[in-house]
Amino acid sequence: MVRKCVFLAVLGLLMLLVAGCSSQANELSYGNILYETGVSAGESIPGTELKYVGLADGRAQVLIKGQQAAKQKGDSLSWKGSVRDDVDLELALRVLWYTEDTLRVAGTAKVTVRNPNPVKAEIPEDAPLHFANAPVVYTVKRGDYIPGTTLEYLERSEEGAKLGGVDGYPYFKTGDSVVWEGQIHDGVYLQLNVRVGVITEGTLTLAGTANLWILPQ
């Protein structure tokens, strides 16, 4: 009982603080993703127009959409654009450190996917863009799908929430984990790991994280 109360308290806090994935069928939005990456001189962050040129006068020289900018440690480095058709990426980064050969940045990312079409598929874990542990909170109506998945909330029962599209036992009690992996758009893959919160006749609440892999065009 104590564990259940703690879980529900954490779930409630997440619902207040987290901007999770949109429940709209035609758009999925994953925000507040912590992101860190390194870029070699002469290369760009995959799918973006952020290119590290190298060092000059002790500062990192970066091309942002073709325009040159000189950056020092702690300086901002932002970009917004499309990495695939119907797939937008926003990066709000800061320079961590740099050498003649490498630029290291960190910050947050937001991924928006329009017109998703979830299907089960193997995830290409070597995809150039990988965003881990995006926080998500969902309230799913009975008869609707958990956003970005092929899992449908069917009903509440004595065994817990019954989900359609599950391989095997379809019932999940409060605190149980629900995991789904697959493709949500051409070149975009999702691994969803959430836990069941409040179960009612009309809705199912879940909270957890999403991992995204993207193959830029």
pLDDT in tens, 116-136: 999 999 999 999 999 999 999
pLDDT on residue 47: 96
pLDDT single digits (tens) 181-198: 999 999 999 999 999 999
pLDDT band for 29, please (50, 70, 90 cuts).
very high
With 0-12 CB in 10 A as exposed, 13-18 as middle and 19+ as buried, what is 15? middle
- Asked if residue 203 has pLDDT above 80, the reply is yes
Averaged over 92-111, what is the pLDDT? 98
pLDDT band of residue 1 (cuts 50, 70, 90) is low
For residue 11, pLDDT beyond 60:
no
Model pTM above 0.85: yes
Q: What is the mean pLDDT of the chain?
A: 91
pLDDT in tens, 165-181: 999 999 999 999 999 99
